[in-house]
Amino acid sequence: MKMEIESSILPDNSALKECCNGGKRASQLNIDMEATELLLNLLKEKWSLLIEDKTNKKQIWNDIATGLSEQGFLVRGEDKGATCRTKWENLRKDYRTYISKFNQSGSITI
């Protein structure tokens, strides 16, 4: 009986889509693209809180990770908020690199 109660409380991870795992298959890239779009939308909703000095940023990133989980995405890592923050930082870095290369050449090929 105890085992049945515990398993009913735990989320069914098999129903979640794993995101941000570095997979390169087309299906994984589609999942990552969906998760990234959702991450950006959640970040947009929380942006005013993130730019405040007195806000607990860790809690906001944890809320964003929870939002991804609620929408069916499995965020890997012990600190899911940190995983989301790292994804955001990498997106910003890649964007800045892209813009820098574009400004140097006037055009860019991917």
pLDDT for the residue 7: 37
pLDDT for the residue 3: 40
C-alpha span between 81 and 8 (Å, rounded): 25
C-alpha span between 109 and 24 (Å, rounded): 20
pLDDT for the residue 102: 81
For the question of whether the overall pTM of this predicted structure is more than 0.85, the answer is no
C-alpha span between 94 and 99 (Å, rounded): 9
C-alpha 10: how far from chain center:
21
Query: Which pLDDT tens digits describe the chain residue by residue (110 residues)?
Result: 434 433 333 345 556 676 665 666 777 677 888 999 999 999 999 999 999 989 899 999 999 999 999 999 988 889 999 999 999 999 999 999 988 888 877 665 55
Question: CA end-to-end span of the chain, whole Å?
Answer: 56
